[in-house]
Structure 1
């Protein structure tokens, strides 16, 4: 038999029999909202790069925090859906604006870093998302405690490095943080499935979890590539 004559059954590949149809519909809404967030965040980043607003990082962080709290305080219902989608879009826009300083730094080092980092992040996010979707239900939920502990240690080391100023500790934070965020993609995806299976249909709030995972992954990978590019330039000199 010629193996090249075999046809790939894409319907079978995309069939998640262990996930109920209602949860699959919920996931479609989550990822549709995620796509909206990505588009709006890209617009926010473009606005910052074009305008070069110096205080954008601080103001956008404050604004995104306010919008997140507002969104959290707004109950999920059919009547508030449009309002919450607007808050989600505003949060994504300000998050994109907050990425502006890091984007400008990478553009100054080498503009090709941005598309490379984005494609790399998209591939990592997609692979770990599919791993979570195809894996047995709840198989990655045990990672929650480990990931939160690792995140706490990374936060403490980042605060401590403000006083030490160690470039090695900064780079270690980037690499370890990248691995931790990959774990969060697995954990958050399966947690969203479990919440949906138990009746939590708040796809807008679930979208924020995945969106923040993607943005953090992108930021860390972008900074790793920028640091490596700077090191290469120093070696050539």
Structure 2
């Protein structure tokens, strides 16, 4: 907890217009690499949106699309870096299937309140942009130490989810998984961004793999924000209905 507190405290002193222009620690080669990574990430987000839209039209989302997304990801990671076009295609296919997989959640949001989707996307984009920018303007390797803590937090979430699926879970446990998971993946945006920069400094310019890493973080944040907003909207509607009765 002290580590997260120190992050926010240090961010207060670092956030300024001059700090946002301060990329002197990032070489031009790495800067160009980051441009490729973020452009590819934007394309993956568009592919994911197409996948969600296809589910709304034809109800294709489910276990099969989840397996297809994982299969495409594994195929991508096993493809040599010099087959660039093939790897980009596999990334877009994986993103499309992942979008279809979360399509049922999108469909539910449309039925409850369509504006939640746009609000959740804007909130996700702002959170991702702010924490990614914090990693970019920070000193090199400053937040890489958080990786161990985040891995432990992710393991805890997996065990809690496994236990709740077997023994049953409570509302309190569900809320904890939701909000703690959001905190973990927001933290991963910082760590993964700095790790990408560090790898690029040492010659790892695999922008497809790096874009896939950030896309995974972005999708996890979006799902949790949308679920939180859906839950709050449903509870708000229930309270209104009770008052009317």
Question: 1:35-93: CA deviations, max 9, x gaps?
Answer: 1101111111101011123xx2201110011111111111111xx11111111111111
> Residue by residue, what CA displacement relative to the aligned partner does 1:160-194 show, whole Å, maximum 9, x if unpaired?
11222312111111111111111000000000000
Cα distance in 2, alignment partners of residues 100 and 13 from structure 1:
36
Residue of structure 2 equivalent to 1:159: 162
Aligned to 1:27: 34
- 1:12: Cα distance to partner? 7.8
Which runs of structure 2 are paired with 1:139-150 in the superposition (5 Å)? Answer: 139-150=142-153
Name the TM-score, length of structure 2 as normaliser.
0.88
Q: CA RMSD in A?
A: 1.5
Identify the residue that residue 228 of structure 1 maps to in structure 2.
232
Aligned partners of 1:20 and 1:46: how far apart in 2? Answer: 39
Kept in 1, the 8 Å contact 2:20–2:137? The answer is no
Q: Secondary structure at the match of 1:227?
A: helix
In structure 2, what is the equivalent of residue 45 of structure 1?
52
Which of 179, 184, 208 is the matching residue for 1:180?
184
Aligned to 2:136: 133
CA distance in 1, matches of 2:190, 2:156: 20
TM-aligned CA deviation for residue 104 of structure 1: 1.4
What does the per-residue CA deviation read over 1:204-235, in whole Å, with 9 as the maximum and x for residues that have no partner?
Answer: 00000100100000000000000111111121
Alignment match, 1:59? 64
How many correspondences in the alignment? 225
User: 2:101 maps to what in 1?
Assistant: 98
CA distance in 1 between counterparts of 2:95 and 2:28 reads: 28
Asked if 1 retains the 8 angstrom alpha-carbon contact of 2:52 and 2:100, the reply is: yes
C-alpha displacement of 1:15:
4.3
Secondary structure of the residue aligned to 2:62 is helix
- CA spacing shift, 1:11–1:90, aligned 2, 3 Å: farther
Q: Work out whether 1:36 is the aligned partner of 2:27.
A: no
Q: Closer, same or farther in 2 for the Cα pair 1:183/1:116, shift >3 Å?
A: same
- Residues 20 and 31 (structure 1), Cα distance of their counterparts in 2 relative to 1, 3 Å cut: same
- Aligned-partner Cα distance in 2 for 1:11–1:225: 35
**Uncovered stretches (5+) of structure 2, i.e. residues with no partner:** 1-16
